[in-house]
């Protein structure tokens, strides 16, 4: 059964669509073209969830997507090729 995200943001990366979701069970997910690429769950002693992935584009081009969610401050940061594209408090 799918879990409804607390927050979801769509980030275009080249010709592909990427979605970052924060789930209520302290899980962070990165989807590329609606397919789960990476997920991270809270470990003991950690407050930060982190996912990253290399996204393959046309003609052997690549983009690197990173997302961080601070479970205490409720901040979500997303970067593409080390350039910030999203940085907000979401709750």
Tens of each residue's pLDDT in the chain, 91 residues: 567 889 999 999 988 999 999 998 889 999 999 999 999 998 777 899 999 999 988 887 889 999 999 999 999 999 999 999 999 998 7
**Domain coordinates of the chain in residue numbers?**
7-89
Kindly report each contact of residues 8-17 with a partner whose C-beta sits within 8 Å and lies 24 or more positions away, as own/partner: 9/76, 9/78, 9/86, 11/65, 11/78, 11/80, 11/85, 11/86, 13/55, 13/57, 13/63, 13/65, 13/80, 14/55, 14/57, 14/58, 14/61, 14/63, 15/57, 15/58, 16/55, 16/57
């Amino acid at each position: 059964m799918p879990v409804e995200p607390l927050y979801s943001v769509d980030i275009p990366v080249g010709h592909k669509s990427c979605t970052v979701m924060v789930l209520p069970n302290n899980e962070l997910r990165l989807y590329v073209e609606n397919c789960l690429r990476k997920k991270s769950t809270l470990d003991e002693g950690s407050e930060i969830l982190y996912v990253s992935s290399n996204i393959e584009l046309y003609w052997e081009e690549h983009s690197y997507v990173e997302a961080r969610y601070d479970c205490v401050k409720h901040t979500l940061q997303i970067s593409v090729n080390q350039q910030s594209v999203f940085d907000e408090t979401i709750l």
